[in-house]
Amino acid sequence: MKYVRFRDPAGAIRRGEYEDGTVRFANESYAFDSDEIDILPPSEPSKIVCIGRNYAEHIDEMGSDFPDRPLLFLKGPNTLAAHGDTVTLPADKERIDHEAEIGLVIGEQCRHVPEESAMDVVEGFTCVDDLSNRDDQQLEQNWIRGKAFDGAAPIGPVLATPDEVPADAAVRTRVNGDLRQDGNREQLIFTIPELIAEITTYMTLEPGDVIATGTPDGVGPVEDGDKVEIDVEGVGTLEHSVRIP
């Protein structure tokens, strides 16, 4: 099953079922790409927990060292952007990159979750673009300027239940139609259960929180006016544009 969170013509926020380009809520149905509704991020997270260096070839392309445990950093609710949005990026930067990621949406409050039952707390999967300001990321340790600027986490367009997403689900980026990234879920260094167990050792996850599981190789810069498409097999395609003042 796939779900879409949206604002209906009356301005109410709803969650409807998505199938074959149609969103259904109660007795109403809307075309997904209709101007009648606004597609929203699939949840309202209190935090987005991101994983760095979780694909070997991305580690190589960045010239980084392999981590001995998951590398964690946070993005706040201010970073959320939705399917179809135009994200205004920080001005006067040499390089801001796209990073396609498989996103997990947490379904229940949880802490100290063992690996063997970690998938029980996952409500579903979505697409994430971990937009990254490399200029400042390389100059700071906590990556606030580099990773947590406004709009730095486009998420969506739907929430797909775990049965919809293959164990080897592809994760890809296209910019203006050109393929930039092409990885898959099996390439994760730290698996999804391992990530959930590690994160919940240190913090409580709340319903709607998102875990962004890391990006494959092929990251690259975006330019003013670019159209970015993030595709996760079994979820669909998150589309957004970028504006650079």
Residues 123 and 6 in one domain: no
Residues 31 and 51 in one domain: no
Residues 86 and 199 in one domain: yes
Strand 178-184 with 210-212, pairing: unpaired
Q: Looking at the 3D structure of the chain, how many domains does it have?
A: 2
Residues 125 and 12 in one domain: no
Residues 116 and 168 in one domain: yes
Residues 26 and 128 in one domain: no
Residues 32 and 102 in one domain: no
**Residue 41: phi, psi to the nearest 5?**
-55, 150
| Contact call for residues 210 and 235 (beta carbons, < 8 A) | no
Residues 57 and 31 in one domain: no
Residues 19 and 129 in one domain: no
**Which band of pLDDT confidence, cut at 50, 70 and 90, is reported for residue 178?**
very high
CATH of the domain at 95: 3.90.850.10
Torsion of CA 97, 102, 104, 105, to 10 degrees: 70
pLDDT tens by residue, 220-233: 999 999 999 999 99
pTM: 0.97
- Nearest CA to 240 out of 230, 219, 77 is that of 230
Residues 107 and 199 in one domain: yes
**Which band of pLDDT confidence, cut at 50, 70 and 90, is reported for residue 192?**
very high
Name the residue range of residue 8's domain.
1-39
What pLDDT score was predicted for residue 99?
A: 98
What lies within 8 Å, CB to CB, of 141 at 6+ separation is: none
What pLDDT score was predicted for residue 216?
A: 98
Residues 8 and 67 in one domain: no
Residues 112 and 181 in one domain: yes
